[in-house]
Chains A and B, each alone.
Chain A
Amino acid sequence: MQLVAVALACVAVLLGAAVLAVAVSARRVASTVVYGACLAASSIALAAALVHFAGTSPVTLTLPLGLPWLGAHFRLDALAALFLAVVNLGGASASLYALGYGKHEPLPGRVLPFFPAFLAGMNLVVLADDAFTFLLCWEFMSLASWALVMAHHRVEDNVRAAFIYLVMASFGTLALLLAFGVLAGPDGAYGFAAIREGVQTPLENTLVLALVLIGAGSKAGLVPLHVWLPLAHPAAPSHVSALMSGVMTKVAVYAFVRVAFDLLDGSDWWQSMVVLFIGGGTAALGVLYALMQHDLKRLLAYHTVENIGIIYIGLGLALAFQANGMMAATALALTAALFHVFNHSLFKSLLFFGAGAVLTATGQRDMEALGGLIRRMPYTSFAFLVGCAAISALPPLNGFASEWLTFQAILQSPDLPQWGLKFMVPAVGGLLALSAALAAACFVKAFGITFLGRPRSHAAETAREVDRFSLTAMFGLAGLCLLAGILPGFVIDALAPVTLSLVGERMPAQADVAWLSIVPIAEARSSYNGLLVFVFVAFSASFAAYIIHRFASHALRRAPAWDCGFPEPSVRTQYTAGSFAQPIRRVFGTLIFRAREHVDMPPPGDSRPARFHVDLRDLVWEVLYLPVAAIVNSTATRLNHFQFLTIRRYLGLVFLALVTLLLVLAIWL
């Protein structure tokens, strides 16, 4: 009772801060006050969620708001506590970051009221315990984030991005509305408790799963419903982008997990095949899109799509194992997916904070105009490097721990009886490995072109380090990445109550394993010890440094770069983002993006420069969205005639409708 009340009180504080921000946003201290209040509220809610993990049973609360015969139900159980912790950790770090970043905001009146509202909306979605409250808060969350995307409305691209976001969000909510409608049944039992008790026919089961996959998936960013994400996430201010990518997509994953594992009774094996297929395709396509980008924030947004794909691969595996009664493997796959949810919120927020810092310092998002920032912004670059290493799944950081668990779950697949699953799971495993390797390539490009090399523009040459709040937020998240990677056993044990409540099974207790290793199924099969690997690497590096210091020469001299004896004074000769991605574009892009390179070479004697042009096409946009938009447009144009009828025609329409209804009545009776 109390913990839910505490969480709801924090939400109330956030809403109050939103209202306050409307009034005082013109003042200079408004930013500090509002973000400080958000930080405090999020921290308290985070503490409440963590305290709940130490406790046991779910707690509920009903408020007399909303529909009179329903009220608003709120519930804090293990799954809600996990996602509450994720949301508020992201919210707290974003507020801390914004204490410094928000001072550079040109139009605070458009951002300050909606930021606390956005946080409040996300918290409420996670806590909601009946369909009406859930959908209301889901829409509230979408609208608050839409307002934030529209914050810099003078930029034409942002307006378009916000429009597409609004359309896709409405579409997603429609799908969820239908899903909850089917779940509630003809009696209108909207409370989740009632839905849990109820039994669904297989057809209803399939329908609900498909609708939730579409509705929650469009918010999370599954291909082909991902198109709004790379447009909207970069358009918002950086701390909001971090929240949208790192946290709001997780709220969408929460919706899927809640419906698929908690409210439904379990699904058929072929439904899990669909989830696996979509997850695998999303992961591979997301990272390939990301590799072709040279806008830093858009690259990070496409990368979110890839990680959502990885999470859905884990969820699909869990559904497949659950459909076949292999509960230990289900717990493993589900734990891997939830661990990745936690990890992704950490490192994606960190990376967006870094991108925001770069934007503040240089005014540029385009990597082709950056470079050499490692010397101008050393702390930011170090934190960004930790984020890049974490997201590329390098041991001993946290990205590797959750990917390792996912691979171990995939290795359980031979025990599955169905042939389709038996073949699909290794294929998806191959796609997962491919996307992990491509992600590493993508982040070598992102870090290398932005921070390393020589500055490509005046803005990059004169960049300065950002303020202490931003740096604290970034280093805090980087430290958490390292901790979660070295001590994954603690995270797995913390996730155990969640899997217990959802599937009735948990992974073996990791705290009992010697030396803090993690053991997915049994000691004899495989184990991994992040701490030991970290200590080993640190020891080897120190040993090497010591030997070098003792026995090798210490002399060091600075000189111009060797460059095979042909030094290039112009900074334009170093690699750009497009040229770095060229080999991979040739290998994968020729098929998937119809990438074509055109060289316009002047004939000998003509002194104009040669031009190189790359043609990329977004096939998802062209095949799915443009035709739909064309149909809607043409239908709307035809229906437009109804705007310009004469009065006699309008009267005729009314008369026709009346006569038709009377006819129907006559036939029916």
Chain B
Amino acid sequence: MALVAGFLAQAMQMALVLIAAPLLTGFVRKVKARLQRRRGPSVLQPYRDLYRLMRKEVVLAENASWLFRVTPYLIFAVTWVAASLVPTFASGLMFSWAADLIAIIALLGSARFFLALAGLDVGTSFGGIGSSREVMIASLAEPAMLLIVFPLALVAGSTQLSNVAEFMVSPDVGLRVSLGLALIALIMVAIAENGRIPIDNPSTHLELTMIHEAMVLEYSGRHLAMIELAASMKLLLYLSLLACLFLPWGLATQGMGVAAYAVGLTSYLGKLAAGGVLLAVFELVVAKMRVFRVPEFLGAALMLGLLGTLLLFLSRSL
């Protein structure tokens, strides 16, 4: 019985992640529009976009290979799996021990690997621009992410997300500088990985400012729908990660009753909404950086992670 309940909870998290992702994207767009004194599209518009794309015909380049057609499914699957392993309304779900934070980062890395390959597949220069810039950003964002995992793992004694989240709720955590540095670094890396301003503009039409858009330029129809959905889920994943690591209050644990799950769900949706508003405000306040300033930005995130680790060693040995 407990097994079935656990299985259901995990399945519910997978469904929640899938359904909430486009809603989050729509919400962010709506808040941005409102702040710019526009009415903006409806919050449900991304669902309509996905539906429209699913029903359209796929136009495939003549020399696109099987890799080009398989990649959207692969990216979608990998991102969905990674997003369902991050605690949203409850921690300690049934399969959460299968992959820890390092494995989740590596799963997102595989999605990026195949997306970069798909960008090179058709043999145009736009795909090349997108892929080469994307791997440059990844070559700094992934180490920065791993150097954020270090202080978190050292403080909480584990790299398993559920354990870290439960540790953060407990009173042992205290007000640590290393965690503050890790928070700032995680926000910087999250902005870089999701291709938001100031790294990349998700709504650009100018080729020289594209990174993500340039890689998916040749995709259309149902393939594009899956890639867009995967991108929304990636944003949801990072916001959930920030929420469960640094704002873990309200998180239920596996095995608590339905009431606790409901509380967890409400607090999770609230955190998502708050994160969306902050993201929208940040994107409007800051301008996009030149591509070759991005390594300095990410280098700063890497240094913050390293500094956090060093400060942790300092306070541990006193």
Does A22 touch B at the CB level, under 8 Å? no
Contact of A371 among B116, B123, B139 (CB under 8 A): B123
- The reply to whether B60 and A434 form a contact with Cβ atoms under 8 Å apart is no
- The reply to whether B123 and A453 form a contact with Cβ atoms under 8 Å apart is yes
- Enumerate chain A residues within 8 angstroms of B157, measured Cβ to Cβ: 524-525
Contact of B98 among A411, A533, A579 (CB under 8 A): A533
- The reply to whether B103 and A575 form a contact with Cβ atoms under 8 Å apart is no
- The reply to whether A580 and B163 form a contact with Cβ atoms under 8 Å apart is no
Q: Provided the pairs A552-B222, A557-B58 are in contact, do residues A372 and B123 lie with their beta carbons within 8 angstroms?
A: yes
- The reply to whether A440 and B146 form a contact with Cβ atoms under 8 Å apart is no
Contact of B113 among A392, A427, A429, A581 (CB under 8 A): A392
In whole Å, how far is A189's beta carbon from the nearest beta carbon of chain B? Answer: 44
Does B295 touch A at the CB level, under 8 Å? yes
- Enumerate chain A residues within 8 angstroms of B128, measured Cβ to Cβ: 574-575, 579-580
Does B95 touch A at the CB level, under 8 Å? yes
How far does the alpha carbon of A452 sit from the alpha carbon of B117 in the complex, in Å?
8
Tell me the count of chain A residues lying within 8 A, CB to CB, of chain B.
84
- The reply to whether B123 and A527 form a contact with Cβ atoms under 8 Å apart is no
Which residues B137-169 have CB closer than 8 A to chain A? 138-143, 146-147, 150, 153-154, 157-160, 163
In whole Å, how far is A310's beta carbon from the nearest beta carbon of chain B? Answer: 14
- Enumerate chain B residues within 8 angstroms of A560, measured Cβ to Cβ: 61-62
Closest residue to B104 on the A side, CB-wise?
A395
Binds A, one of B19-27, B30-38, B39-47, B74-82: B74-82
Does A364 touch B at the CB level, under 8 Å? no
Does A628 touch B at the CB level, under 8 Å? no
Binds B, one of A210-218, A583-591, A598-606: A583-591
How far does the alpha carbon of A447 sit from the alpha carbon of B56 in the complex, in Å?
31
Chain A 446-459 near chain B by CB (<8 Å), digits 1 or 0: 01110011100000
- The reply to whether B132 and A581 form a contact with Cβ atoms under 8 Å apart is yes
In whole Å, how far is B277's beta carbon from the nearest beta carbon of chain A? Answer: 30
In whole Å, how far is A404's beta carbon from the nearest beta carbon of chain B? Answer: 6
Closest residue to A442 on the B side, CB-wise?
B135
Most B CB within 10 A of own CB, among A374, A448, A524, A545: A448
Chain B 112-129 near chain A by CB (<8 Å), digits 1 or 0: 110011001111111111
- The reply to whether B62 and A575 form a contact with Cβ atoms under 8 Å apart is no
Does A163 touch B at the CB level, under 8 Å? no
- Enumerate chain B residues within 8 angstroms of A407, measured Cβ to Cβ: 102, 146
Does A562 touch B at the CB level, under 8 Å? yes
- Enumerate chain B residues within 8 angstroms of A537, measured Cβ to Cβ: 74, 77-78, 81
Closest residue to B310 on the A side, CB-wise?
A423
Does B29 touch A at the CB level, under 8 Å? no
- Enumerate chain A residues within 8 angstroms of B140, measured Cβ to Cβ: 434, 437, 587
Which residues B190-224 have CB closer than 8 A to chain A? 207, 217-218, 221-222
- The reply to whether B65 and A558 form a contact with Cβ atoms under 8 Å apart is no
- The reply to whether A426 and B310 form a contact with Cβ atoms under 8 Å apart is yes
Q: Provided the pairs A555-B58, A574-B123 are in contact, do residues A525 and B291 lie with their beta carbons within 8 angstroms?
A: no
Does B136 touch A at the CB level, under 8 Å? yes
- The reply to whether B313 and A553 form a contact with Cβ atoms under 8 Å apart is no
Chain B 261-274 near chain A by CB (<8 Å), digits 1 or 0: 00000000000000
- The reply to whether B135 and A441 form a contact with Cβ atoms under 8 Å apart is yes
Does B59 touch A at the CB level, under 8 Å? yes
Which residues B223-274 have CB closer than 8 A to chain A? 225-226
Most B CB within 10 A of own CB, among A443, A453, A583: A583
- The reply to whether B222 and A553 form a contact with Cβ atoms under 8 Å apart is yes
Q: Provided the pairs A394-B110, A422-B313 are in contact, do residues A437 and B99 lie with their beta carbons within 8 angstroms?
A: no
Most A CB within 10 A of own CB, among B103, B142, B158: B103
How far does the alpha carbon of A541 sit from the alpha carbon of B71 in the complex, in Å?
10
Does B173 touch A at the CB level, under 8 Å? no
In whole Å, how far is A222's beta carbon from the nearest beta carbon of chain B? Answer: 22
Which residues A536-593 have CB closer than 8 A to chain B? 536-538, 540-541, 544-545, 548, 551-553, 555-564, 568, 571, 573-575, 579-584, 586-587
In whole Å, how far is A169's beta carbon from the nearest beta carbon of chain B? Answer: 34
How far does the alpha carbon of A525 sit from the alpha carbon of B102 in the complex, in Å?
13
How far does the alpha carbon of A563 sit from the alpha carbon of B122 in the complex, in Å?
9
- Enumerate chain A residues within 8 angstroms of B221, measured Cβ to Cβ: 552-553, 555-556
- The reply to whether B110 and A533 form a contact with Cβ atoms under 8 Å apart is no
- The reply to whether A414 and B154 form a contact with Cβ atoms under 8 Å apart is yes
- Enumerate chain A residues within 8 angstroms of B55, measured Cβ to Cβ: 552-553
Does B280 touch A at the CB level, under 8 Å? no
- Enumerate chain A residues within 8 angstroms of B184, measured Cβ to Cβ: none
Does B179 touch A at the CB level, under 8 Å? no
- Enumerate chain A residues within 8 angstroms of B78, measured Cβ to Cβ: 537, 540
Closest residue to B136 on the A side, CB-wise?
A583
- Enumerate chain A residues within 8 angstroms of B120, measured Cβ to Cβ: 444, 448-449, 452-453, 575, 580
Interface residues in chain A, defined as those with a beta carbon under 8 Å from any beta carbon in chain B? 371-372, 374-375, 378, 385, 389, 392-395, 400, 404, 407-408, 410-411, 414, 422-423, 426-427, 429-430, 433-434, 436-438, 440-441, 443-445, 447-449, 452-454, 515, 517, 524-529, 532-533, 536-538, 540-541, 544-545, 548, 551-553, 555-564, 568, 571, 573-575, 579-584, 586-587
Of all A-B residue pairs in the complex, the 10 with the closest CB atoms, nearest first, are A575-B128, A453-B123, A448-B120, A583-B136, A555-B57, A540-B77, A441-B135, A454-B123, A433-B143, A541-B77
Give 15 A-B pairs besides A372-B63, A559-B61, A584-B139 with Cβ atoms closer than 8 angstroms.
A393-B106, A395-B106, A404-B102, A410-B150, A423-B310, A434-B139, A440-B109, A441-B136, A444-B113, A528-B103, A529-B97, A529-B98, A538-B77, A571-B123, A583-B133
Q: List 9 A–B pairs whose Cβ atoms lie within 8 Å, in order of A's numbering.
A: A394-B110, A414-B313, A533-B107, A536-B81, A540-B77, A553-B56, A558-B60, A558-B62, A564-B126
